[in-house]
Amino acid sequence: MAVTKGFKELVQRRVAKDPEFATALLREGIDTMLTGDVDTGKAILRDYIKATVGFGKLGEATDTPPKSLIRMFGPRGNPQARNLFGIIGYLQQQAGIELHVAVAPR
């Protein structure tokens, strides 16, 4: 099912108005990638980036052309770990949060 433009705009408006939602969106994107659903995680992070720092500013901060970033987070993108972790680090810094990996109880 394709995501409509209206839905993406709704997410962007919600992120702008609700910092807790923005933080949850960032966390969900990273968690989703860590559980193995890389494509969905990239899509969530793409929406988060668009709604917060934007690809231009992210490109400047990570010394990566914005078009390369857009491709990395696109459906067929395959970001290298070095790039991905640099981007995640920057996004955390901008959001004022620090995420950690923990062992989940079984």
Q: Which residue has the tokens 């459906």?
A: 75
Query: How far is it, in rounded angstroms, from Cα 89 to Cα 76?
Result: 23
pLDDT digits (tens, 9 = 90+) for 57-76: 999 999 999 999 999 999 99
pLDDT of res. 103: 87
Distances (CA, A) of 2 to 5, 8, 11, 71: 9, 11, 15, 18
For 89-106, what is each residue's pLDDT tens digit?
A: 999 999 999 999 888 888
How far apart CA 60 and CA 79 sit, in angstroms, is 17
50 Cβ neighbours under 8 A, 6+ residues apart? 8, 12
Taking the CA atoms of residue 47, residue 53, residue 57 and residue 60 in that order, the dihedral angle to the nearest 10 degrees is -80
